[in-house]
Amino acid sequence: MSTDLMTLQNPLPAIPMTRGCPFSPPAEYEQLRQAAEWHKVTVMDGRQIWMVPTYSAVRAVLGDPRFSAERDRPGFPYINQSQKELIKSSPAMVTVDEPLHSQIRRRATYAFTGKRVEALRESTQQLVDSLIDDMLAKGGPLDLVTEFALVIPSTIISGILGVPAEDHQHFHELTNKIFTLTNGPEGVAAGRLGLEAYIRELVLLKVQEPKDDLISRYVTEYLNTGELELEEVVTQIRTLLIAGHETTSSMIALGAAFLMEHPQYREQLRQGDDKIAAGAVEEMLRYLNIMHRGLVRMALEDVEIEGKLIKKGEGVLCALNSANRDAEVFAKPDELDFENPNRNHVAFGFGIHQCLGQGLARMEMQVAFKTLFTRIPDLKIAIPLSEVPFKTDVTVYGVHCLPVTW
């Protein structure tokens, strides 16, 4: 074990640990990957759970049905208040095991197939061009988050679900209440209840007047037939709405900040073709991983992973951003290769709970990054990087706002 690692507390005091660079995971993760022994971290309720830092171990845990994602199991470790609050609703696909997981997931899968996602590329391009037209007309400085990064995924997922696009700021504010770690139990609860009330009203409107959208499909095929109760529909739509805009908007804003601070990569993207744009997205997903608090599982029985025994009932934190920098898998983990990206990253998770909308997210980012820096090649952050408010206080990493000019 290295001397530096030996100076760390065991269990480590908090997750995520402090970043030295806003675009890279904490330096301690490399030490943890190289250590002979795994360490533990202390979570919200004071419990200590295993930190799994290597790529192979993360995939082993997430792909093993002996590790549960069901947060309502007695003793399940919560890493933040939002996780604890969200289990008060009906089961969601990301928090249940088989066979219920597949039953929930299949109801939405058709809307996110490769064919359907590709059919949205043209309208996504039109949206992105329109947003850039508006930015150019207004002139800088302006906030790239509210003017661009948030609007793209919010508008697209709203169209898929049948949510009024003009409401995106409202449901984003409610989502922020759920995932901002400093809000406390009451604030998180207010966000959840407010978002569910908003979705419940939408569902009931679709009962009266169904249209060609995913919420209407839930109403006609599952609610009206008695397969699902109203609150089950609300929870499942809530999951899709949050996942469909929060993570992708964070990646677009964070990725844009990275490219503005690293002109060699920005120019490679700007001058490259669609293949380079796709490679850029894969590499930034790996390199910038926004799921900085990782994914938690609980062992259902004694399980040995890479010679380490995890006992029944113990919690495990899969550190995705550590796994995506593992030199055992990625030849130059701290560099980006847009021409030959390693697509085996775990930015979208792994196993049965791997992100349902990852194809949609990829397409949105490809269009957003390529178009933004092609049309505004001299885009730059309008304030020092040290003054950019990064989202260390939110479950999903990114930036709260990103003033830009050109």
Q: Going residue by residue through the chain (406 aa), what tens digit of pLDDT does each one get?
A: 333 333 334 444 456 667 889 999 888 888 889 887 888 888 877 788 999 999 999 999 999 999 999 988 998 988 776 677 677 777 788 889 999 999 999 999 999 999 999 999 999 999 999 999 999 999 989 999 999 999 999 999 999 999 988 888 888 888 888 877 777 788 888 888 999 999 999 999 999 999 999 999 999 999 999 999 999 999 999 999 888 888 999 999 999 999 999 999 999 999 999 999 999 999 999 999 888 888 999 999 999 998 899 999 999 999 999 999 999 999 899 999 999 898 899 999 999 999 999 999 999 999 999 999 999 999 999 999 999 999 988 888 999 999 999 9
How does pLDDT run across 329-360, given as a tens digit for each residue? 998 999 999 998 988 999 999 999 999 999 99
pLDDT tens sequence across 24-56? 988 888 888 988 788 888 887 778 899 999 999
Burial 68-104 (b: 16+ CB within 10 A, else e): bbbbeeeebbbbbbbbbbbbebbbbbbbbbeeebeeb
Q: Determine the pLDDT at residue 9.
A: 40
Q: Residue 170: its pLDDT value, please?
A: 87
Domain edges within the chain: 3-405
- Reading the block at residue 199, the tokens are 């979705």
The predicted structure's pLDDT at residue 86: 72
What CATH number should be reported for the domain whose range is 3-405?
1.10.630.10
pTM above 0.85, yes or no: yes
User: For position 82, what pLDDT does the model report?
Assistant: 67
Phi, psi of 120 (to 5 degrees): -90, -5
Tokens of 19: 């970043």
Which among 113, 52, 35, 12 has a CA at the least distance from the CA of 314? 52
Which tokens in the block code for residue 330?
Answer: 């990625």
